[in-house]
Amino acid sequence: MAGTEHKEHVVSPGVYITIVILLMILLVITIVMAFVDIDHFTQEHHLGSGWNTGIALAIAIIKAILIILFFMHIKYAAKLTWAFAAAGFVWLAIMIVLTMTDYMTRNHPAGSTPRGEPRYFLPAQG
């Protein structure tokens, strides 16, 4: 370990400028998509709903990947750094899954179905 040298990867300013331009383009697309109702079109053509949210999440994921790879220098990092970055996303996925399992088992709105309806013990009258 003492004989190995750590060589730092130097990224040219052109790469950073390109990534910033891509992020700005994706930002404009995000803003434009916020004012376009794709769900209305997809529901008319029986394609389901949730497309606006899905597209917004896809754009956000692309922006996050660009930031992680280039601005956080994960692209040029060692495999151990990749493992720790991936572990963070695995933990995030676990937290999202656990949150959604709790949310999806709740009764929304309350009283609509007996599933998940809390039972209260009322004090005895008398």
DSSP string, 25-92: HHHHHHHHHHT--HHHHHHHTT--S-HHHHHHHHHHHHHHHHIIIIIS--TTS-HHHHHHHHHHHHHH
Question: Long-range CB contacts (< 8 A, 24+ apart) of 75-79?
Answer: 76/9, 76/11
The model's pTM is 0.68
Average pLDDT, the chain: 83
Residue 32 pLDDT exceeds 90: yes
Among 28-42, 73-87, 102-116, whose mean pLDDT is lowest? 102-116
